[in-house]
A and B are shown apart, each in its own frame.
Chain A
Amino acid sequence: MLIGLGVLIVLAGIVAGVLAARRALRVGATLGAQIRNGAWGTSTLAGSTRADALTRARVAISGLLALDQKECIYFVAARDDSGAPLSAGNEYEIRGEAPDSRWWSITVYGPDYFLIGNPGHRYSYNSQSIALDDSGNFAIRLAPDERPGHWLPTGTGRFVLNLRLYNPSETLRQNRAAVALPRIVRIGGNP
């Protein structure tokens, strides 16, 4: 009787370990973000051979085949500047200046981390495809339906943004928590 109870306790321990791992991979899983900068998060270890087991697993789920930070820094946002989850029920504007990197892009993904289907195949803007204003700033509207100017469709549910900075400047690499990144502001929709 006691031995049977002992076996059950050990099995419960194993199940608890697996569930704890699953929970760790689900909570804030996006690229294993360790550094916050406004709504954006990034990891110094994404793609790195120095990554710990948890970061490696998180990156495998949400950013498999990520490049080492020397080549590219990935800033991911699942929330807006107020901290609310990004949702297609709202409309947002991404505003900011061009990041200090060789080239950059902003892409919208669904909650499964794949591109969101739309008839015009609009998924992203990059530093060559976007127009900057006279001050060197840009603005992109995020909404399910077409908007004037730069616009990216957001599908029907939650979504995430990935800001990729290829060959980032040394200044940017050293100041990831403090450099000016685009703001993500809700401009309409459900409060």
Chain B
Amino acid sequence: MNKLTLVVARSVIVAALFAVPLFADDDEALKKDLTAVIALQGLPCGQVVAVTELAKDDYAATCKDGNKYRVYMNAEGRVVVEKRK
């Protein structure tokens, strides 16, 4: 294998390893945000443990207690939390 290719490959691996914690940080911030939103609506959750982005400003959140919610912003600019089965 070419020496340059080897260096580039190693650099990409190292960069990816550095990037993982950054993405994880963003993910944690989103979970915390959605946890607060759900709590503000007075709905049971505890803590959001998993988030899936359904669309822009539209998320599916899974809570620690097993509850699942869809959190999205409607056309009027209101944040809506809907319980999912």
Q: Tell me whether A and B are bound partners.
A: no
Residue numbers of B with Cβ under 8 A of A are: none
